[in-house]
Structure 1
Amino acid sequence: MYTLESHGPAVIFACGERRLRVQFVTSAIVRVTVTEGRPFKPHTSLIVETPPPAVACTLEEQPEAFVLRTAALRVHVARATGALSYFDAADRLLVREPERGGKWLTPRDVIRNVYRKDAAIAAGQSIDGARANVEECDRVFDRHAFEAKLEFVFSPDEALFGFGSHEEGYGNLRGKARELYQQNMKAVVPYFVSTRNYGVLLDAYSLMTFHDDAFGSYVWAEVVDELDYYVITGDSFDAVTRGCHLLTGPTPMLPKWAFGYTQSKERYVNAREMLDVVREYRRRRIPLDVIVLDWKSWPNGNGWGQKSFDPVRFPDPPAFTAALHDLGARLMVSIWPIMTGDCPNQRELLERDLMLGNQATYNAFSPEARACYWEQANRGLFAQGIDAWWCDCTEPFEADWSGAVKPEPHHRLAINTGQARRYLDEGCLSAYSLLHSKGIYEGQRRATAAKRVINLTRSSYAGQHRYGTITWSGDICATWETLRRSIPEGLNFCVTGEPYWSVDIGGFFINHDPKLWFWRGDYADGCRGLTEMTALEPDPKDTGCQDRGYWELYTRWLQYGAFLPIFRSHGTDAAREIWRFGEAGTPFYDTIAEYIRLRYELLPYIYSAAAQVTLASATLMRPLALDFPADPRTHAVTDQFRFGPSLMVCPVTQPMYFGPNSTPIEGAAKSRSVYLPAGTTWCDFWTGAAHKGGRTIEAAAPLETIPVFVPAGTILPLSPEPQQYTDEKPDAPYEIRIYAGANGTFDLYEDAGDSYAYEQGAYSLIRLTWKQRSRRLTIGARQGTFPTQVTTREYRVVLLADGQRTTKTVTYTGAALTVAFQT
């Protein structure tokens, strides 16, 4: 039986040695903490760094329960078992725990390994980079802790999303299970959100699992010092995400160029090759903003992971980066948390006792180690003019990347977490990337406010978004099945409050190597495998995969990628530049070129939507179910999504023209079915044709077309004038496209495109408002200013209505004006 122990800023209940604390962070967010046999811990969270102060609630004692109430939320605590039930302001049940209680703590001891500095190190190399192991260690007691289990009773009609991106291709997580640990193709976030407008954030960092299956509905954590979690409520998905960010921190703006096209491969060998690639894009007038230097920037024969340029292949780094900048391109460079071969960076960290037990992976949990690692990266790379980080292998003890047969899921869990727990605290197995990202972000912020941090990283955790991170889905294979699975996995990642996600367009592995379970692409012709470790010059035989089946898959993948938060092509086996897929005037080349250019046309929309991520905790990549929770047919849709507030994207995930080995496909329909959610009229992005919602249609999808739909009333700002990079023509005209049929608004955001001056208010917003009845667009007065602001711009207002396209051109100078169309 639970009794009331105290009622202050937090309400504490007691049952024997167990203590249950319920504390309202806001009127719509409640924190629940459970401990047993010990006092509650002082707040030392890695996820919620500075929790807001508690707000008051009323407490009512009823015969069967305690009722805690705020203006937005009501929480029942069962006297008999401590089971909690959550209701919104309208007294609608959101979620509850089972009557038996639902919160379980099992005592356990945490043991840690202690390594001698002179222990023998077994260094090796895998497909996924360098590895180092130390076998001999002493195992010592560290602390008493708990296993924890938190059970739920979900409503039959709700859908659940979250917990990061994985491999299975799950959309709605009802009836599913997730193993929550970090691995090459698993990026974990301990948070889920419901179509009933609530989310649950677990403040824990150990191995975890989620189940909503025959074993029950629960989250289990292997090691916690206490069970600590937040239930976040709101009147919409966006409101719930705002609550999540209130706890975990705001998302900083990425630089505008990050939303352009990124060209990468495994790997560019030297400075000349990279400059030649950028120059070729410029010659062909295909837009490009970022080129990426994958692993092995460091000197040949100097170990793995040194954060500096090879003086042979990159003899003058400042001149190299300046030449890229002169071409309007930025440079992203891969860095690793592991350093081997007695390279200078490794020696420095060892001498300062800042390595983990394997003597090769730096201790990202140490502030001193993070500062040292940053100074190395700054000296060797950032001070040389690079623009962005690729923090690869940020789950540094991944250990299942070998063998011909893919290990069973439970075996993979044991392999990977077993290796990680050799060197990391069992209670922090999943938090390495979070702290690694913190060090990079805080280091660069100390160094300059002129460049925004951008960090492409393979792993993630709750709160990592506050460090300027983008997560990608790992080293995936070039198959249509992988493309299909990527869509719902990206959605499950982005709903966790971690807004920036990407994939290797075309898959990382193109070919099929029967000796390796993960190298299982479907296409061989023209593939060359990994770049030689000691290469000084690019391989002249690397002219791209020649399989037309792969060309089709790549083209469809790139169409999908054009509507992702980050638009990036990367992989091994074969080069991915546009000229590897034909030449101008051929269908694959022309389609790829069209969608790269479309990305740049959409930049005013994309950058404004990204600003709302920072200003209002919006989400760029959105499951239909969370935007249309009242339409149950959206719950099962896994191959469509919203990109920002307006675009519904419907990727093509089946071949229509070629199979593997360039085998022609005969008779395939050049269309795909599309579900149009109920409650609105949908307009074809390409034609403006209107369709009633609440039904499935067959949408045309020949090679050059990915079906895209927008709700009636959409206002879509575009930049139709061709540009080779994002800031080539800052004063280019805008097209303001209106899809008629309903009222609509859009906030057009502008700033300098880089630097953190926006944090001091150096940006502007222009409210665009469409009134359907009067057929008038109001362009509101510009709010805000910044030094490089374009004060006068041509707006071409295009109305798509009744099968007609009507254009009116105005000059906008910052004062409000109205554009009227004939009624």
Structure 2
Amino acid sequence: MHRIPMNMLAGFLVIALVSACSSNIGSTQAAIPHDANVAPATFQQIADGVIVDVGGAAKQIRLEVVGEKIIHVTAIPGGGFDLPASLMAVKNGGDKQFTVSSDVGHVRLKTKQITADVATATGAVQFLDKDGQLILAEQPNGRTFTPVTVQDKSFYAVRQQFASPDDEAFYGLGQHQQGTMNYKSKDVELAQHNMDMGIPFVVSSRNYGLLWDNNSITRFGDPRPYQMIDKQLKLFDADGKPGGLSADYYVDGKLKLSRVESEINYQYIKDLKNWPVQLTDAKGITGGPGQTVEWKGSLASDVAGLHKFRLYVSGYFKLYVDDKLVLDDWRQSWNPWYRDFFVQLKPGEKHAIRIEWTPQSGYIALDHQDPPPVAEQNELSLSSELGHAVDYYFIDGRNLDEVIAGYRDVTGKSVMLPRWAYGFWQSRDHYETQEQLLGVVKRYRELQLPLDNIVQDWRYWKDDSWGSHQFDKARFPDPKGMIDTVHGEHANLMISVWPKFYPTTANYKELDAKGHMYRRNVEVGAKDWVGPGYLSSFYDPYSAEGRQIYWRQIRENLGDLGVDAWWMDATEPDIESNLDIDERKLRMGPTAQGPGAAFFNSYPLMTTMGAYQGSRESYPDKRVFILTRSTFAGLQRNAAAGWSGDVVARWSNLHDQISAGINFSLSGIPNWTTDIGGYALETRYEKPDAKDLKEWREINLRWFQFGAFMPLFRSHGQGVNREIYNLAPVGSDVYDALAWYDKLRYRLMPYIYTLAAGTYFDDSTIMRGLVMDFPGDVKVRDIDDEYMFGPAFLVAPVTTYEARSRDVYLPTGNSWYDFYSGKRYEGGSTIKADAPLERMPLFVRAGAIVPMGPAIQYTNEKPDAPITLIVYTGANGTFSLYEDQGTTYDYERGAHSRIPLSYDEASGMLSIGKREGSYPGMPAQRRFNIRWISGPTPMAVDFDAPAVQSIDYSGEAITVHKDEQAQ
């Protein structure tokens, strides 16, 4: 951990210290005599903290102690702290173990571990560790409040700036699609969107975190919204004339229109009116078949520095700067997103730019931001559009695991999912009939492909009955019998439930009668994409009554049939895709608690809360499991997992999911997944020729290999059926490799389920950024395509077509084993790792103890089967094998067991400790087979190879030496 000693703060912060200190511990209000330069410090001590009168933008600062390493900071421009209750936080203070002191110009709140120091002249707060070294400091005058009125309600736009040293790195902030690992000096907009999740929690390489308690659109980094390119730049056409870029519109390769355009802006539905009339068809469709556009010219700026650009786009696109190809990709037409790029500009210097675009009825916009002021370019800044205060939690830790534990202390424990959730899920868009769904489960069992969850996506209802939560009887004649059959095959059923309703349904009418439907979407006549198009809107989850009605409707129609888990889709909420942001804010409100704009990011938290709380009340002995397309701080307490939305089957998207998942996990929510293979497809994959079929199978296999080492393992997508046996013929090389990783996932279930338990008992993280486990290795800070899967495995997915090797950095301070061969490498170097089509580079840390189970078809098969303990020698190691019943909440009441495992390298001794705890149905006897990996061996992944030792374990401690039989 890098802290800054107080004597190094000159020029970084101004701190007034007075030798004669007046202690005010225990007083309700205190002031010390002021000198000629500094006003006396006045403050009021409260039960769990202190309120300090300050100068600067705020008039008062409140510090509340949540724990000895967590301080809740609230700053307001007026008096009083009568603020709305937090949605994300379940604990905002309450700890009374602290002292308060003051001297001229400062009030200090001190716990056993940290000190919060308030400079009364400016209101700036700094945080120091118990040795007096600086951890984090607000910038003097770095807090701003700008009055804003929305729908006759008063708010402030708020911002808080913090100093940050050059070598600091930032992570978390939810899930984003720009392929970025380290957010230092980057701009991140937190605004819920399909594929992009905003969680206002950032963690630092200096082992602290900031939880920003605000529900509106929030920006990390530059607070200024990006603008169209003509607002700050000088544009020139292809002939060098000022005023805009040359735009050429083609149909089937023939030039149809040329004009100069001052901006590239077909970003939202409202912007499509600017499309050339002569190229718009009779139905108003723009960018239809055969149409392409090329923009070319140059740009310049009077502002020197690194300029930030974002291309918001769908369809096929290429972007060149100074004739260098910068972007080349594709995205499905209805789901555009941003691609970032940067250009170093000097005043007056022109740079050529060219964009080639095949719209496929998609969207495009190019926006830009000047470099921020030099003083702000390196700092930590958080800003939000609407709030009542600057409100954040400072969370310190010895490591990032402790920081994430602190986040969960504030926002709620991550409750355990059922064990079966960690098996393999099969899904597609969508099973059309009951017979089709049951046929998939049957086929998996016939092929002996492990499976635990079959997913029924949307449109199981009649087309005109979205929101009824009722099966179409013509296609699903016996839903209860279907679910019972799934259960009889030892599988589970997850079903899609949306917060979306057609006005013709009884459920809409009931919610609307109580004031719990957003009406604007219906009032403006917006129709969806199903059949002829239907009016629809979303319900309001911001009242307890609305959530209770919503859950009761689900329970009566689906839950009581035996559905096992809930897929809560479109929880942004995506009421109508491709609306501009201002219109989105209107259509997602007004909520029961205020304007939609003030609660823009929190919808997924509130709607999953209703399903979680309702399910626990309705089925108290059955673990809740929710999959949601959008997430927010606190979601982990609702038994909810996130997935990365409707990403596409492109190698670039596969690569970007790695950093997306790592940063999502670093945001405090441990369960995450993607659509293996990508949700949406280019048309070349839908009816592929031999060349495209080969690539389609390879991208699915590479994504599947990655998926086997995600917290949740799930195949899903549209266009082509995603079952293993439909991706590749049975017996083919690709099929065999898919099946091998499916089976490997189940072999690893004792290890994986222990990781899952750790998210509750230890507040741990499954998918781990390398910075978590190797904080002293600065080389890992920006690595965006490797991660740790628990303490043992280093995962390095392959994200390039036809690659048969890839560079892998092995962190320093450890030895590493190739999982497949047992070959040992020393850390601190980059190796060229083999990556044949059938295998993804995978390494195991020396000292790891990996428990593996037998070949099984579902997670609760053979609960008393032998477990193989594979010990990777070369370092000391520990593991604590966890077991419980798997589907109930008995674990919360102590019904679970732990078997401590430890390996001592010096003695070569494996210790299997005394079993701790018990649970109903726990096997009294357990056979452990022991295997040792110390170097290359042909049996590294021969999981049925004879064990070196086998012992029968009855719960008492026992030791095993790697060169001897059990003792």
SS in 2 for 1:605: helix
Judge conservation of contact 2:566–2:626 (CA < 8 Å) in 1: yes
Matched with 1:814 is 955
Matched with 2:701 is 555
Rate the CA distance shift 1:352–1:417 in 2: closer, same or farther, 3 A.
closer
Within-5 A mapping of 1:531-550: 547-550=693-696
Matched with 1:518 is none
SS in 1 for 2:746: helix
Judge conservation of contact 2:69–2:395 (CA < 8 Å) in 1: yes
Paired with 1:420 and 1:388, the residues of 2 have a C-alpha distance of 26
Matched with 1:267 is 430
Judge conservation of contact 1:67–1:74 (CA < 8 Å) in 2: yes
The one-character-per-residue Cα deviations of 1:631-662 (angstroms, maximum 9, x if unpaired) are: 11001100000111211100001111xxxxxx
- Taking structure 1 as the reference length, what is the TM-score of the superposition? 0.87
Matched with 1:10 is 49
Paired with 2:446 and 2:491, the residues of 1 have a C-alpha distance of 14
- 1:699 is matched with which residue: 833, 840, 850? 833
Matched with 1:346 is 508
Paired with 1:478 and 1:222, the residues of 2 have a C-alpha distance of 35
Q: CA deviation at 1:356?
A: 2.3
Paired with 1:706 and 1:426, the residues of 2 have a C-alpha distance of 44
- 1:775 is matched with which residue: 903, 908, 915? 908
SS in 2 for 1:547: helix
Judge conservation of contact 1:526–1:574 (CA < 8 Å) in 2: no
In structure 2, give the amino acid aligned to 1:385.
G
In structure 1, give the amino acid aligned to 2:856.
Q
- 2:600 is matched with which residue: 422, 429, 438? 429
Paired with 2:480 and 2:844, the residues of 1 have a C-alpha distance of 45
In structure 2, give the amino acid aligned to 1:372.
I
Paired with 1:251 and 1:802, the residues of 2 have a C-alpha distance of 38
Residue 565 in 1 paired to residue 565 in 2? Answer: no
Paired with 1:583 and 1:83, the residues of 2 have a C-alpha distance of 64
Matched with 2:465 is 303
Judge conservation of contact 1:631–1:678 (CA < 8 Å) in 2: yes
SS in 1 for 2:157: strand
Pick which of 251-260 and 706-715 moved more: 706-715
Rate the CA distance shift 1:389–1:556 in 2: closer, same or farther, 3 A.
same
Paired with 1:6 and 1:258, the residues of 2 have a C-alpha distance of 50
Matched with 1:108 is 148
Q: CA deviation at 1:503?
A: 0.4
- 1:577 is matched with which residue: 723, 742, 747? 723
Q: CA deviation at 1:42?
A: 5.1
SS in 2 for 1:764: strand
SS in 1 for 2:609: helix
- 2:573 is matched with which residue: 389, 396, 405? 396
Greater Cα radius of gyration, structure 1 or 2: 2
In structure 1, give the amino acid aligned to 2:827.
G
Judge conservation of contact 2:929–2:948 (CA < 8 Å) in 1: yes
Residue 257 in 1 paired to residue 420 in 2? Answer: yes
Residue 646 in 1 paired to residue 792 in 2? Answer: yes
Paired with 1:682 and 1:76, the residues of 2 have a C-alpha distance of 44
In structure 2, give the amino acid aligned to 1:587.
D
- 2:671 is matched with which residue: 494, 500, 504? 500
Q: CA deviation at 1:778?
A: 1.0
Within-5 A mapping of 1:477-496: 477-496=648-667
The one-character-per-residue Cα deviations of 1:217-255 (angstroms, maximum 9, x if unpaired) are: 411111111111100001111111111111111111100
Residue 218 in 1 paired to residue 348 in 2? Answer: no
Residue 676 in 1 paired to residue 817 in 2? Answer: no
Judge conservation of contact 1:510–1:572 (CA < 8 Å) in 2: yes
Residue 83 in 1 paired to residue 124 in 2? Answer: yes
- 1:202 is matched with which residue: 201, 212, 227? 212
The one-character-per-residue Cα deviations of 1:265-322 (angstroms, maximum 9, x if unpaired) are: 0010111101111110111111111111111122x24421211222221111111111
Paired with 2:583 and 2:810, the residues of 1 have a C-alpha distance of 43
- 1:722 is matched with which residue: 855, 866, 870? 855
Identity %: 37
Matched with 2:635 is 464
In structure 1, give the amino acid aligned to 2:221.
H
Q: CA deviation at 1:751?
A: 0.5
- 1:47 is matched with which residue: 88, 99, 104? 88
Q: CA deviation at 1:569?
A: 0.5
Judge conservation of contact 1:771–1:777 (CA < 8 Å) in 2: yes
Within-5 A mapping of 1:54-133: 54-63=95-104, 65-98=106-139, 100-111=140-151
- 2:560 is matched with which residue: 375, 383, 391? 383
Matched with 2:235 is none
Judge conservation of contact 2:64–2:92 (CA < 8 Å) in 1: no
- 1:277 is matched with which residue: 419, 440, 455? 440
Matched with 2:768 is 622
Paired with 1:697 and 1:73, the residues of 2 have a C-alpha distance of 41
Judge conservation of contact 1:183–1:398 (CA < 8 Å) in 2: no
The one-character-per-residue Cα deviations of 1:554-593 (angstroms, maximum 9, x if unpaired) are: 1000000000011000011110111123233311111100
Q: CA deviation at 1:687?
A: 2.2
The one-character-per-residue Cα deviations of 1:46-102 (angstroms, maximum 9, x if unpaired) are: 11124341334333434453333222112222233122222222333222222x332
SS in 2 for 1:295: coil
In structure 2, give the amino acid aligned to 1:324.
V
Judge conservation of contact 1:183–1:416 (CA < 8 Å) in 2: no
Judge conservation of contact 2:189–2:198 (CA < 8 Å) in 1: no
Paired with 2:63 and 2:772, the residues of 1 have a C-alpha distance of 28
Aligned residues: 744
Q: CA deviation at 1:163?
A: 0.9
SS in 2 for 1:54: coil
Rate the CA distance shift 1:68–1:341 in 2: closer, same or farther, 3 A.
closer
Pick which of 622-631 and 202-211 moved more: 622-631
Matched with 1:356 is 518
Residue 732 in 1 paired to residue 865 in 2? Answer: yes
SS in 2 for 1:433: helix
Paired with 1:809 and 1:646, the residues of 2 have a C-alpha distance of 22
SS in 1 for 2:500: coil
Pick which of 374-383 and 544-553 moved more: 544-553
Matched with 1:125 is none
Judge conservation of contact 2:538–2:575 (CA < 8 Å) in 1: no
Rate the CA distance shift 1:205–1:179 in 2: closer, same or farther, 3 A.
same
Paired with 1:285 and 1:812, the residues of 2 have a C-alpha distance of 30
Judge conservation of contact 1:505–1:570 (CA < 8 Å) in 2: yes
The one-character-per-residue Cα deviations of 1:170-221 (angstroms, maximum 9, x if unpaired) are: 1110121111111111111110101111000011101111116943341111
Rate the CA distance shift 1:352–1:81 in 2: closer, same or farther, 3 A.
closer
Q: CA deviation at 1:370?
A: 0.7
In structure 2, give the amino acid aligned to 1:679.
G
The one-character-per-residue Cα deviations of 1:387-419 (angstroms, maximum 9, x if unpaired) are: 0100001112454448xxxxxxxxx65564465
Judge conservation of contact 2:215–2:602 (CA < 8 Å) in 1: yes
Q: CA deviation at 1:526?
A: 4.9
The one-character-per-residue Cα deviations of 1:109-138 (angstroms, maximum 9, x if unpaired) are: 231xxxxxxxxxxxxxxxxxxxxxxxxxxx
Q: CA deviation at 1:103?
A: 1.6
Judge conservation of contact 1:511–1:573 (CA < 8 Å) in 2: no
Judge conservation of contact 2:511–2:539 (CA < 8 Å) in 1: yes
Paired with 2:823 and 2:585, the residues of 1 have a C-alpha distance of 52
Paired with 1:474 and 1:92, the residues of 2 have a C-alpha distance of 42
Paired with 1:109 and 1:788, the residues of 2 have a C-alpha distance of 60
For structure 2, the residue ranges without an aligned partner over 5 or more in a row are: 1-37, 223-307, 309-370, 523-536, 940-946
Structure 1 stretches (4+) deviating beyond 6 angstroms?
A: none
